[in-house]
Amino acid sequence: MRIPRKYASLLIAGVAALGLTACGGDATVENDPATELSSVAPLTREPATTETESETSTETEEGEEGGERSSTSAAPPAPAEPLPQDGPAEEIEEIPTQTVQRTPGEEGYLTQLSEKEIDIAGVEDQLIGAADTVCESQESGNPNVIVPAVAGQLIEQGKTDLPAEEVAALIESAAESAYC
């Protein structure tokens, strides 16, 4: 027996209406104090025991005569350093200075360049990188394109008044004596 479409639609609508009324009228969320969440107790962590502590206590318990268990337990772990806490942002008076530890070779290389009328302030890392490419290009036999580019940048940044070819030659000779 087939149910006509007209009756099937009414049947589905009726079932849906019954389902909605079964939820009840109090199903909406309101900001009543009774419906607010209560606070949750903070979580605490138990001190973790290591495998060696567990094995030691098991051996002690089993190894005593008469099956007696030891009344002493493993020593409690040493108190850990306090965890860092987030706090509000604070205004700083001045920017902290950063110091970079350089090797004696790097210091010697940079000193050679600064003695040859090249201002190295702020470009030390780039100059050290260029020095690394000098040694690599000598080992591989490939031409070095980095040193002339760095020499041009030093001139454009106003770090030296020397011609680009002379700056490149200074970088290469200082790198060879310090690194290669």
Closest by CA position to 72, among listed 86, 81, 59: 59
Query: Encoding tokens for residue 82?
Result: 């306090």
Query: Encoding tokens for residue 90?
Result: 């604070």
Closest by CA position to 135, among listed 93, 179, 95: 179
pLDDT at res. 150 = 94
- The string of DSSP codes covering 63-105 is HSGGGPPPS--PPPPPPPPPPP--------SSPPP------HH
pLDDT at res. 1 = 54
Residue 64 near residue 54 (C-beta atoms within 8 A): no
| pLDDT tens-place values along the chain, 180 residues long | 566 677 777 778 777 777 666 555 555 555 555 555 556 666 677 665 555 554 554 444 444 444 445 455 566 666 677 787 888 888 888 887 877 788 888 999 999 999 988 999 889 999 999 999 998 888 898 999 999 999 999 999 999 999 999 999 999 999 998 888
Q: How many residues does the chain have?
A: 180
